Amino acid sequence: MSFTSDIKNEVSKLNHERTEMIAELSVILRNSAIITDTIKITTENASVARYVFSSIKEMYDVSPKITVRHGYNYMKSYLYILEITRKVKDIINDLSLDTNIPRDYILDDDLSKRAYLRGLFIACGSINDPKKSRYHLEFFVDNLEYAKFISKLLNEYYLNSKVLKRDNKYMIYVKEAEKIGDFLRMMNAINALFYFEDIRIYRDHKNMTNRLNNCEQANVDKIIETATKQVRDIEVIEAEGGLDLLDEKERLVATYRLKYPEASLVELSEIISIETDTKITKSGLYHRFNKIKALAERIRNKKERNK
């Protein structure tokens, strides 16, 4: 079973106030039903089918006819089809199914808005399993006006949703992991939220560790590259006339660099300070190596001119 199915199972079993049921049924039927002289709702989720059936029966004293069929491909084991043939006009009017954008009373308070978004997820939403792929929450709806309405509603809760046209439908999506966690919390999908946050924290920690390791490796590579260049400069000077070309302080650091070719400047400064009982800082070493480098460059340039 997918992560999305687990979430739909969880939220469809929550206890609901009547105003929440109106909001949820409004959006579920708006996005999942074919409405003619009957209302026909199709879902792949048994829990959702049970919730819609019981809600319609409780609110309108109507028992939808249930048909179970095999799905159209190997990913769908069954389809649950609920057909309402009685009080159709009353249900359409009560749930604002005759308008593209629901009437104000469907979303007249925060509880109803949250219920509406929960029903939207049940009808046409999905969330990637955080273990398997990038963080992604999406909804597919049938027209641009409704997509913008949904995006605006989501963004009332600071979810940073965006709208994108996909084929003949419109996708409203959220990419940020923290925002998806907020959406799960808003739907009261507590079990799914705990699972999602556990995986998110683990992945964030793993990514941070990888970044630190990469940074540390980059620093090591930089230290080795710098030390290697310093050794080559010293060897150029030695080949030309020995370290006597350097003054006493420069000759000291050159000798220790040849002795400790892989040490960082910090490590080398500590070694020289301990072994010579003469304090030298990292910046002092850097200054002396710059002088050694300048002398080595002059020697190289002279050789190039004499070729």
Question: Mind listing the pLDDT tens digit for each residue in 30-44?
Answer: 999 999 999 999 888
The pLDDT of residue 74 is: 55
Quick check: 265 and 286 in contact, CB under 8 A? yes
Decide if pLDDT at 209 tops 80.
no
Mean pLDDT, residues 164-185: 93
The pLDDT of residue 296 is: 84
Decide if pLDDT at 95 tops 80.
yes
User: Mapping DSSP to helix (H, G, I), strand (E, B) and coil, where does residue 127 land?
Assistant: strand
Instruction: Kindly indicate the confidence band of residue 132, based on its pLDDT and cuts at 50, 70 and 90.
Output: confident
Decide if pLDDT at 139 tops 90.
yes
Q: What is the CA radius of gyration of the chain?
A: 35
Q: Where are the domains of the chain?
A: 3-188, 216-306
- Summarised one tens digit per residue, pLDDT across range 220-277 is 778 888 888 888 888 888 887 777 777 888 888 888 888 888 888 888 888 888 888 8
CATH of domain 3-188: 3.10.28.10
Instruction: Kindly indicate the confidence band of residue 205, based on its pLDDT and cuts at 50, 70 and 90.
Output: confident
Decide if pLDDT at 306 tops 80.
no
Contacts from 84-92 at CB under 8 Å and sequence distance 24+?
A: 84/38, 84/39, 84/40, 84/41, 84/56, 85/38, 86/62, 87/60, 87/62, 88/35, 88/37, 88/38, 88/39, 90/60, 91/29, 91/39, 91/56, 91/60, 91/62, 92/35, 92/39
Full-model pTM: 0.68
Quick check: 125 and 74 in contact, CB under 8 A? no
Quick check: 128 and 3 in contact, CB under 8 A? yes
